[in-house]
Amino acid sequence: MAIEIKSLDELKKMRKAGVLVAQTLERIREVVRPGLMTKDLDLIAHNFITKNGGTPSFLGYHGYPATICTSVNSQVVHGIPGELVLHEGDVISIDCGAIVDGWHGDSAISLGVGQITAEDQKMIDDCEFSMWAGIAAAKVGGRLTDLSYAIEKAITARGKYGIVREYGGHGIGTAMHQEPHLLNYGSAGRGPKLVAGMALAVEPMIMHGSEKVRVESDEWTVSTVDGSRAAHTEHTFALLPSGEISVLTALDSGAAGLAPFGVTPAVF
Ligand code: MF3
Ligand code: CO
């Protein structure tokens, strides 16, 4: 399948889905605290998305049983919400996707439960920074792996982390997962040419220890093999017909996150 190219009108529809995902994640960020179960967060997300005209995109995706993914501590991605109780000091990644009017948004945040260690907070911040570095590296006429290279470079410049090999970012639009697949490492200047109308989800996954991961017996949860803690952050962004970047799942369109890179996103 070719890469789906969106018109400005279509990207405006994707923005609606992106805002809904952003608002859902903001609500969850506000309520996360010790003592909650991860299924409590899933219920909040499910109610919020459906009450606001959206459809949870993860629910039923290849049989996935929930609205969000909640991945705690050594869980990297795709953790299934359930009876797991959050404790002070935990690190949790919350991944959320919604469909509005046929168009998808996909975003994830990592955050601490109560007080967390400085090194865990730094890992979260470094993961997020590398995501922004990847987005900032996108430009019409460039190549896909310019983003991969920028992400990896940002991670390795900031600390000693493992970078997940098996999973990465992806095209997104009328489906959640589209071509192209975006690695979070590798050399620049390769892969498809970046053109106006492309939308990509950028989602680095890093850990304190080894990059080795395994899928748990629930057939979804991806965990580190060495038990080290992980972080995961994700945004959906687009290259507009004007050539500008706009981060569809950021309420400020990415202005704050892209500022350190001298990039000013289009706000819409
Ligand atoms: N946001 C995730 C990703 O980009 C999707 C979660 S997988 C699902 O890969 F099955 F939970 F939907
Ligand atoms: Co994604």
Whole-number Å distance, alpha carbon 251 to ligand 1 midpoint, is 21
Please give the number of the atom of ligand 1 that sits closest to the Cα of 69. 11
- Average confidence score pLDDT of the chain: 98
- Is residue 252 pLDDT above 90, yes or no? yes
pLDDT digits (tens, 9 = 90+) for 101-141: 999 999 999 999 999 999 999 999 999 999 999 999 999 99
Distance of CA 181 to the CA centre of its chain: 14
pLDDT digits (tens, 9 = 90+) for 222-233: 999 999 999 999
Q: How confident is the model at residue 186 (pLDDT cuts 50, 70, 90)?
A: very high
Whole-number Å distance, alpha carbon 10 to ligand 2 midpoint, is 19
d(CA 187, CA 264): 25
d(CA 67, CA 80): 9
pLDDT for 251 equals 98
Whole-number Å distance, alpha carbon 86 to ligand 2 midpoint, is 24
Q: How confident is the model at residue 266 (pLDDT cuts 50, 70, 90)?
A: very high
pLDDT digits (tens, 9 = 90+) for 8-37: 999 999 999 999 999 999 999 999 999 999
Q: Domain boundaries in the chain?
A: 8-261
Instruction: Give the tokens for residue 41.
Output: 């967060």
- Ligand 1 pocket test target in 106, 232, 235, 236 with most atoms within 8 Å of CB: 106
Q: Can you say whether residue 63 is alpha, beta or left, with left for phi > 0 and alpha for psi between -120 and 50 degrees?
A: left
Fold (CATH) for 8-261? Creatine Amidinohydrolase (3.90.230)
Helix ranges (DSSP H) in 52-207: 118-136, 145-158
Q: How many residues does the structure list for the chain?
A: 268
pLDDT for 268 equals 81
Does the Cβ of 69 fall within 6 Å of ligand 1?
Answer: yes
pLDDT digits (tens, 9 = 90+) for 201-216: 999 999 999 999 999 9
Please give the number of the atom of ligand 1 that sits closest to the Cα of 58. 12
- Which residue pairs from 181-185 have beta carbons closer than 8 angstroms and sit at least 24 positions apart in sequence? 182/134, 182/144, 182/147, 182/148, 183/145, 183/148, 184/130, 184/134, 184/148, 184/151, 184/152, 184/155, 185/148, 185/151, 185/152
pLDDT for 55 equals 98
Ligand 2 ion: Cβ-proximal residues, 5 Å cutoff: 106, 201
pLDDT for 1 equals 74
Count helices and strands in the chain by DSSP H and E runs:
5, 15
- Ligand 1 pocket test target in 78, 131, 220 with most atoms within 8 Å of CB: 78
- Is residue 193 pLDDT above 80, yes or no? yes
d(CA 246, CA 18): 11
d(CA 49, CA 260): 32
pLDDT for 114 equals 98
- Is residue 155 pLDDT above 90, yes or no? yes
Does the Cβ of 59 fall within 6 Å of ligand 1?
Answer: no
